[in-house]
Amino acid sequence: MSKSKWIWHPGAFELYHSMLLHNRRTSAKTVSAYGKTERKSVFYAPMWRADGPQRNAELTKTEVVDRDETIILRSNTPYCCAIVDDKKYPPNTPISLCKGTHTIILQGFKADGFPAFYIEGNVFNTDRTWVTCNENIIKPSRNAGQSELYTSPCDNPEVFKFEYKKTDPVSVKSIDGGALYDFGREVFGKIVVRGQGQESYFLSLGESYEEALDVDFCQICVNATLENGEYVSESVAFRYIFIPNLATPLDIFVNFEYLPLATSASFECDDELINTLWKVCEYTMLLNSREGFFDGIKRDRWVWSGDAYQSYFVNYYLAFDKEIVKRTIRILRGSEPMTKHINTISDYTFYWLCSIWDYYFYTGDKDFVSDIYEDMKEVLAFVENRLASDGMFERKPDDWVFMDWSTFDSNGPMCAEQAVLCKAYDSISKCAKLLGDEPMKKHAQARYEYIKEQINARYWCEEKGAFIDDYKSGKKNVTRHANIFAILFNLTTKERQEKIVKNVIYNKEITPITTPYFEFYELDAMCQIGDFEYMTNMLNSYWGGMLRLGATTIWEEFDPTKNGIEHYEMYGGKYEKSLCHAWGASPIYLLGKYALGVYPTEPGYQKYEVKPNLMSFKHFRGAVPTPNGTITVSYDKDFVTVLSQIDGGTLLLNGKEYEIKANEELKVNLN
């Protein structure tokens, strides 16, 4: 009986929570009214249409009952019923099903949320095997939405299942006539202020203490008015709280809000900086892993496709939480009609398409590919409607062509965009093949081949020995991005890849990457061609640079040439930069995939390889999660040891292959 799950119209759960989360952003603004000037927390609207859920649902299932059973429909709305073989029943009423074939239709409506259903039964238990009917009848029916988080009849899918932990500040200091609370590292949650009566307080928050103390410029603030001696804020992110004009510090703590993540992954080595970095990356991920993968926890707390695409990879080497990946993909999808790119960004739509094959390849979860496939086709239709007549990407007036916070020759059709589009077609063609959609497979594969060929024909500049941003502008501008993708996605010859390494990656005249975002791709590409030193050097200099400045989480952007609070400035705001940004957590992926050396070679780790590389380390030990168990790898000067909970693996070491058997330690003597 315990196999039942709450079900809903596909996507309703994700769109409901997405709608709420995308409208929770605030920013502190200076407001003058009635002769008084104060700093107030003001609503900050999402930059795209924040789709909500469908408020009606109609789901059906036809099945054979092999012995009499009685079921009861539960719902979160009184506006619901079950139609059993054309007879209608209200909720909370026993329904007898005799032996034989039955068809049940569940109908519901909820104006302020979304309708959800729950039935326990031997056959008619609710799960994704129910399908949509009515308004989707001409389209292929879609499977019901469900979540592993909501499996009990007492659950309420409209309340997201966060956990809470009371967390006190590690220090409170009097400063400038006020009080500065330090929580030791970035936290997220509901601030609880306790005091006397009905006083009002202004709380200036900061990821840095400079921000918290700079009350006229802090990015996030809380206007707290006590009721009966207590105030509880909305959930906010900060490390420091400063309350000006406060002689006696108040009792303040935070109800730390988080989604517990599985923690079988690990990495430890002889380099303490790297060990610290891994933990800091893990914590950065923890804070940003919620309804979906967020970009950063302080400022917008939105779900961005490019950012999420990287979080997926980190997740496959950290928590291996399939549910959050699926939720994020649905949140980003939104609903029809698609009138703009995902997050309004062209490359972000392409990453969305890429992410589905990657998800399948790591998890082996064909159900989800099947569930999201119609959406994938709709997104592709949107994309293809906007391509140039030659089938290549071109910028439309309302497209945001992002790629990275960097300077590109980007007015024309950018090479890096073509590269991600090309990769997207590869993902579609593989998904289509998986689901037996031969015409789509052929179409997408042909587009993949064509775009790859055109990238090489149009964008390669022999003079520069590199791909240029734009073949039309005549500027022959070289940036790292397209060249990184050419290696990472294997879009060009070995010969050209070698030229790129020399002329671009190791060329200090080519503007370096300043975001951990694109640093991920650069390091992934370099590791892929076996240049691990470039990666470990960058972990030390770039990520290490943030740690040496006291970072407790990874930043959105880091420019080592800046000083002091210059580091916190972005988008024209003194403290607008996010100091806890998920896209900085890639070392977890890089170390798991290339140091521990664990990766699937068939979908869902049915087959996998372990190809450990000691790199610049003296020794390391770590674990990588898979759908069905953990793989632990250790490497020191004498031994490489692998202990895996799953079959199907091959250890590759010094040109030799060793079979990995489940739960049997494989120990290879290196001497």
**Cα gap 660→460, rounded to integer Å:** 43
Residues 260-289 close enough to bind a second copy by CB under 8 A? none
- Kindly state the smallest distance separating residue 88's Cβ from a second copy, in Å: 5
Residue 488: is it exposed, middle or buried by C-beta count within 10 angstroms (0-12/13-18/19+)? buried
Phi, psi of 534 (to 5 degrees): -55, -40
> What is the token pair recorded at 644?
């895996």
Say whether residue 79 binds a second copy (CB under 8 A).
yes
Say whether residue 657 binds a second copy (CB under 8 A).
no
Among the listed residues 398, 453, 498, 602, the single contact to a second copy using CB under 8 A: 398
DSSP H or E stretch at residue 166: strand 163-167
What number of chain residues touch a second copy (CB under 8 A)? 50
Q: Which residues pair with 88 in a beta bridge?
A: 83
Residues 99-118 close enough to bind a second copy by CB under 8 A? 107-109, 111-113
- Kindly state the smallest distance separating residue 385's Cβ from a second copy, in Å: 12
Q: Are 391 and 446 in contact (CB under 8 A)?
A: no
Say whether residue 381 binds a second copy (CB under 8 A).
no
Binding mask 124-163 for a second copy (x = CB under 8 A): ----------xxxxxx------------------------
- Kindly state the smallest distance separating residue 10's Cβ from a second copy, in Å: 14
Residues 625-654 close enough to bind a second copy by CB under 8 A? none
- Kindly state the smallest distance separating residue 616's Cβ from a second copy, in Å: 49
**Which C-beta is closer to a second copy: that of 218 or that of 554?**
218
Say whether residue 60 binds a second copy (CB under 8 A).
no
178 Cβ partners below 8 Å, 6+ apart?
Answer: 242, 243, 244, 245, 246
In sequence order, what E strands does 198-272 have? 200-206, 221-225, 230-243, 251-258, 266-269
- Kindly state the smallest distance separating residue 81's Cβ from a second copy, in Å: 5
Binding mask 198-237 for a second copy (x = CB under 8 A): ----------------------------------------
- Kindly state the smallest distance separating residue 48's Cβ from a second copy, in Å: 6
What percent of the chain is helix, strand and coil (3-state, nearest 5)? 30, 25, 40
Q: Are 204 and 242 in contact (CB under 8 A)?
A: yes
Q: Are 610 and 642 in contact (CB under 8 A)?
A: yes
CA gyration radius, the chain: 27
Say whether residue 573 binds a second copy (CB under 8 A).
no
Binding mask 327-346 for a second copy (x = CB under 8 A): ---------xx-xx------
Stretch that binds a second copy, among 18-26, 273-281, 353-361, 631-639 (CB under 8 A): 18-26
**Cα gap 23→496, rounded to integer Å:** 46
- Kindly state the smallest distance separating residue 135's Cβ from a second copy, in Å: 4
Say whether residue 88 binds a second copy (CB under 8 A).
yes
Among the listed residues 39, 52, 377, 643, the single contact to a second copy using CB under 8 A: 52
- Kindly state the smallest distance separating residue 572's Cβ from a second copy, in Å: 11
**Cα gap 328→311, rounded to integer Å:** 10
617 Cβ partners below 8 Å, 6+ apart?
Answer: 269, 270, 271, 274, 595, 635
**Cα gap 331→369, rounded to integer Å:** 15
**Cα gap 176→534, rounded to integer Å:** 46
Say whether residue 49 binds a second copy (CB under 8 A).
yes
SS3 114: coil
**Which C-beta is closer to a second copy: that of 40 or that of 443?**
40
Residue 390: is it exposed, middle or buried by C-beta count within 10 angstroms (0-12/13-18/19+)? exposed
Say whether residue 56 binds a second copy (CB under 8 A).
yes
Say whether residue 565 binds a second copy (CB under 8 A).
no
Maximum alpha-carbon separation in the chain: 81
**Which C-beta is closer to a second copy: that of 137 or that of 662?**
137
- Kindly state the smallest distance separating residue 645's Cβ from a second copy, in Å: 43
**Which C-beta is closer to a second copy: that of 107 or that of 418?**
107
SS3 387: coil
Stretch that binds a second copy, among 15-23, 321-329, 357-365, 454-462 (CB under 8 A): 15-23
**Which C-beta is closer to a second copy: that of 39 or that of 433?**
39
Q: Burial letters for 74-100: b for 16+ Cβ neighbours within 10 Å, e otherwise?
A: bbbbeebbbebeeeebebeeebebeee
**Which C-beta is closer to a second copy: that of 2 or that of 385?**
385
- Kindly state the smallest distance separating residue 29's Cβ from a second copy, in Å: 5
- Kindly state the smallest distance separating residue 15's Cβ from a second copy, in Å: 10
In sequence order, what E strands does 536-617 have? 598-600, 608-610
Residues 409-448 close enough to bind a second copy by CB under 8 A? none
Summarize as ranges the residues that interact with a second copy (CB under 8 A): 19-20, 23, 27, 29, 31, 33-34, 40, 42-50, 52, 54-56, 58, 78-81, 88-90, 93-94, 107-109, 111-113, 134-139, 336-337, 339-340, 397-398
